Amino acid sequence: MFGVYFGKYLEQQGVLTEKQYMDIIEKNRNKRVKLGLIAVNLGFMTDAQAAEVNELQKATDARFGDIAIEKGYLTETQVGELLAKQGDSYLLFVQALTEGGYLTMAEIRQKLTEFKIEYGYKPSDMEALLSSDTDRILDIFIRDLSPDETDKNYLRLIIRNIVRFVDNRVRLDKAYRSDHIDTEDVAVQRIEGDVELFCSLAGEGNKVIGEGFGQEEFESLDEDCLDACCEFLNVTNGLFARHLSSEGDETEMLPPEMYPGRTELSGAQGFIVLPMYVRGVKSDLIISTDAKANIRSGGNQ
């Protein structure tokens, strides 16, 4: 997941084109990091040692770890640690950058420093981004709002479900509050009872969400596609309602609603809006503690 954040920054800096950025993200989905790159990144080996072992592999057809142990560069324990990190999203992205000739390791380190400064990321933020832990990453983008626990728990659940059921190439942006939202192509569901919640997905990214969750392609963001988004909300809210029930809260999920085209949202309690990009396409996750929030679409209320 780190690659979608750092890669977007490199695109904005002109290091990558949008196509190169998206190609790397797509190609990395099923790749594994080379052990030499991990060993160098962790400080277990030098660049020269890793290059030497790589050359020996070509001549001996032996495994990287076995050669490195024989040469005295690594211990068996260290090789085990390297193997456990082969799916690391950060290292996969670094590997793609170096193998593609976009940046050297020294240039990547410099760009990482600039990336942290540009966005004001603290060491704990970088650890969260590198961990690919969606809960920790979400906290970076909502902390300025100080949301209550219900809102926070719901946002965590829905982002986890986007990653699980739709696509793991999700990039979040800074959340904000708004009393009135002018948007388009909205899928909505309301939860009423001891806990009230208005939950919606809006924007062109709903096509990606509908296709990912529905496991089919749609020619456009039509009612069938929005219906798949509604079903995604229904599944997510069913899990959330079950959690609330375990906490002793009685709730009722109302049937999902869809609003194609331009749509206005307003409510007495206002909204939290979390912009997110799935496969590079933006959709807004909009929630409110006002389950009766008002919706106007096509002149109808």
Q: Which amino acid is at 120?
A: G
Show Cβ contacts of residue 117 under 8 Å, excluding neighbours closer than 6 positions.
none
What backbone torsions phi and psi does residue 112 show, to the nearest 5 degrees? -65, -40
Does a structural domain hold residue 235? yes
pLDDT, residue 299, reads 43
**Are 56 and 98 in the same domain?**
yes
pLDDT value of position 38: 84
Those residues of the chain that have pLDDT short of 50 are: 299-301
Q: Is residue 139 part of a domain?
A: no
- Distances 294 to 124, 150, 196, 240, 289 between C-alpha atoms, Å: 39, 21, 14, 22, 12
Of 97, 131, 165, which residue sits at a domain end? 131
Q: Which domain holds residue 63?
A: 2-131
pLDDT at 32: 62
Residue that is last in its domain, among 131, 154, 182: 131
**Residue 155 within any structural domain of the chain:** yes
pLDDT digit string (tens) for 63-89? 788 899 999 999 989 988 887 776 577
pLDDT at 301: 41
Distance separating alpha carbons of residues 203 and 233, to the nearest angstrom: 15
- 172 falls within a domain: yes
Residue 300 has a pLDDT of: 43
Q: Per residue, what are the HEC states of 227-271?
A: HHHHHHHHHHHHHHHHHHHHCCCCEEECCCEEEEEEEEEEEEEEE
pLDDT of amino acid 91: 80
Do residues 271 and 151 make contact, with C-beta atoms less than 8 angstroms apart?
Answer: no
CA distances from 102 to 7, 11, 91, 114, 129 (A): 11, 11, 15, 17, 22
Q: Are residues 28 and 81 in the same domain?
A: yes
Under 8 Å between Cβ of 82 and 35: yes
Q: Please, what's the largest Cα pairwise distance for the chain?
A: 74
Residue type, 290: D
Among residues 137, 157, 193, the alpha carbon closest in space to that of 287 is found at 157
* The one-letter amino acid at 179: D
